[in-house]
Chain A
Amino acid sequence: MKVFLLTLASCALVLVVLNAGYYKEWFDGKPRQYWFEFLKEKDDPGDEVAIKKSRYGVVYTISMRVKEVVEKKKMPHAIILFEPNSYYRDSLRIYNNIRAPEPAVFYYYTGLEGVWTNSPDVRKANFIVRITKNKGVTLDEIKSPQQLQQILDGFKKYPPIL
């Protein structure tokens, strides 16, 4: 009988914790949600790329698109210049939805080398990823050092940020 009462007490304490203040909000929003995700994921596991796409979101998709284009153009030494994220934040105001990946993360996604506008290796850049509201994402070739300088000058007031 006492064991039964203690078991009831344990159940009550568990329920109290699960329903107390922020714990309830967290439990419903996180572990419970994760459980529902698990139910979907176990039925349709998807391949590695699909999982990465859904987990890493639009930045990963852009990166992989860049990779595809570079592979099509057969440019073995492509070095990709990214526009500064502060440009997306202050000028295009799309920073909440989209941002350029860090070179290290871009390398993880694609195996391609990327640079930011303040990188010591920026002079080696031969492609630039441009994101615009109208055209979406484009990968343009940088054809000359002069063109690169012009691009860099255009971004002078936008320091790279994460």
Chain B
Amino acid sequence: MPMFIFLFLLVCYWLSGFGILTLFRIRLKPAYMVTLSLLLGVAVASFVPFGLQLLYITITGPTVFGALVLVALLLNIPSFLRMRHSGLAVFTRPFGGGRFRVRPYEVPYWLVMGFLIFVSVWRCYYLPPTSRDALSGPETIAEYTVREQTMINSFFGLDLWSTNNQFKSPFLISLQVIYKLAGFPFGQVWLSVVFISFTIFLYHVLRERLHPVLAGLLLLLFMMAPEIYAYTFMILYDYSNMVFFCLGLYFLYQGLVGGVGAGPGLGTAAGAGSGGGPAMVSFGGLLLGIATYIRSETLVLVVLFLPVIFWSQWKTVGGGGAGGEGRGASAGAGAPVPVGAPAPVSEGARVPVGAVLKKMALMGLFFLLPSLVGYYLPVQRYINHYLPVHYDIGTLVNNNLSDWHPLLQRYGDIVSKLLFGTFAIHLWGYLFYIASALFVAELVFVRRFSREACFWLYAIVVVYLALGFMGFALPMFNLTETTKRAVFKIVPLLLFYMANNELVLRLSRWIAGWEVKGSKKMAMGTVIGGEKAVAPKVAPASGKRGAAKAGGKAGTGGSGGVGKAGAGGSGGAGSRKKNRKK
């Protein structure tokens, strides 16, 4: 019976997630569609018991599972309406067409990663939650929610002097409630859905940039980060927060580079026919909003990405030059302008400052709004108006903010204790060392960074600076627990940076060129993700991976590169210049 309900839940997740992707008009490769749908579905489910509680509806099996079905159906209303014209193809088409070919040299990685996944899933299923942070808050609340049919239950009548975990996000409580109601006494298995979906998503992203030998290696290094791996079967907030934060930034970047045309990865294989710029940025904002719902301090990080949006908008619309390059390239390749994307701005066109500012404000608002909601509902609304006990975060703030010595000390400690050194190796393996070595090598030997590499480096620095500041401003944000777990957010960003490191890309191109016999063009400079280099049979231009072929023929840079102008992500400006010379 639990297995049947587990499958039923997966279908609900898939439907809910698909509905959201459809609402944002995002069409991606099937591997992305499936994994993103499931991840979004888990996020939607995590709102359901919480939403019922906000509406004072009793939390029982029928109400929870009924609400899950209802939400899945509501999110798919546009798809149902389209069914009148297209039939069931509305649901099947986005998942068809893509062919995932496993090559023999991917198998060794997948064997080890499969082993790691299997062990993690078993522990998730078989063992009860153990972390003190879960037991002294969300897990106990979930257990008594199932018994008492309300999230505001007898737990809050206890002596809670020793814990503040009762104030943490309802994300964990809700998911635990769902799975306990489904017949899993320890809940938890939702975490395996998140883990597996994210791993597959990440692998496909890396594979679009790199040859599978390198993509597999990077993913293996990520999965073997001991601390992160432990959190794939130990329910807490940080792993899920990392997943949605990383996805949010990924789609933010894709939205900023234009979604269809200029974006690496998504621009071709993944972003086929996707919603493009503003829609993609808003979708990134939604994912970051989910991350904020999971861990409220993520809001600070989200705000710090607003300058990137404003800068990008200014360059695209206001500047009329640099940003227009990508869009022009798309148009040049005959790629369709996505629904919801702004009209292309021809080079040199003047746009009134007011219009630019309005556009910037709107995009910023749509980007930030989900995070504001994700912060307001669980923190401001739920804690202050629903819980019988209150939490005054004001009393937790450092009252000596003018003394910056502890701030500098914290920055130093993060580097010396959490990112490098013996303790750090026990947490993340050698990932930070490898990424740092590649960064220095790129700095010394290449002396420039591609646009995408710059974005990921910016993201890493922003998270680092924000974590240090939060540790300084909130003394309870301690180094070895809270900050350590918050560093999770940096780790996948390291992967994205490494996948855009010019030296790694060159190595990838070299392997791809060597493998594809006689493909001199490829070996010389076509920036091709492993998938395309090894399997030139890519994609039709309608957004179904054909653009890449066109780009490849033109000798353009970037795995997402489309069109004659050679706008391509991975090669960045440098690659484009080289290609033009050629």
Contacts and interface: CB of A to CB of B under 8 A. Distances in A.
B162 A104 contact: yes
A17 B160 CA distance: 45
Contact of B213 (A13, A23, A56): A13
B185 A162 contact: no
B510 interface: no
Contact of B116 (A9, A22, A31, A119): A31
Contacts of B230: 30
Contacts of B224: 17, 23, 26-27
A103 B119 contact: no
A48 B229 CA distance: 25
B162 A103 contact: yes
A23 B108 contact: no
Main SS of the interface on chain B?
helix
A74 interface: no
Contact of B155 (A21, A107, A115): A107
Contacts of B217: 13, 17
B112 A2 contact: no
B126 A116 contact: no
Category for how many chain B residues contact A: 35 or more
Contact of B128 (A2, A7, A52, A102): A52
A153 to B, nearest CB: 19
Contacts of B511: 6
B119 A38 contact: yes
Given A31-B119, A108-B139, A119 B161 contact: yes
B220 A120 contact: no
B429 A23 contact: yes
A90 B104 CA distance: 60
Interface string A58-69: 000000000000
A121 interface: yes
Q: Most chain-B CB neighbours within 10 Å: which of A6, A9, A17?
A: A6
Contact of B425 (A22, A48, A118): A22
A10 B130 contact: no
A30 B426 CA distance: 12
Interface string B476-519: 00000000000000000000000000000000000100110100
B401 interface: no
Interface in A94-109: 102-105, 107-108
B155 A56 contact: no
B159 A116 contact: yes
Which one of A20, A51, A104, A121 has the greatest number of beta carbons of chain B within 10 Å? A104
B109 A103 contact: no
Contacts of B8: none
Contacts of B115: 31, 35
A41 B126 CA distance: 8
Contacts of A105: 132, 135-136, 140
Contacts of B213: 6, 9-10, 13
A50 to B, nearest CB: 11
Contacts of B119: 31, 34-35, 38
B405 interface: no
B80 interface: no
A142 B165 CA distance: 30
A107 B140 contact: yes
Contacts of A21: 425, 430
Contacts of A52: 128
A75 interface: no
B159 A2 contact: no
A35 B221 CA distance: 20
Given A14-B108, A17-B220, A23-B224, A2 B127 contact: no
Which interface residue of B108, B122, B159 has the most chain A CB atoms within 10 A? B159
A145 interface: no
B159 A114 contact: yes
Interface string B91-129: 000000000000111111101100110010011001110
Given A21-B430, A26-B226, A48-B185, 19 more contacts: A6-B104, A7-B107, A10-B105, A10-B213, A11-B108, A17-B220, A22-B429, A23-B224, A26-B429, A30-B226, A34-B119, A41-B122, A52-B128, A55-B130, A102-B163, A116-B159, A118-B161, A120-B159, A122-B159
Interface of B: 103-109, 111-112, 115-116, 119, 122-123, 126-128, 130, 132, 135-137, 139-140, 143, 155, 157-163, 165-166, 185, 213, 216-217, 220-221, 224, 226, 229-230, 425-426, 429-430, 511, 514-515, 517
Interface of A: 2-4, 6-7, 9-11, 13-14, 17-18, 20-23, 26-27, 30-31, 34-35, 38, 41, 45, 48, 51-52, 55-56, 102-105, 107-108, 113-116, 118-122, 160, 162
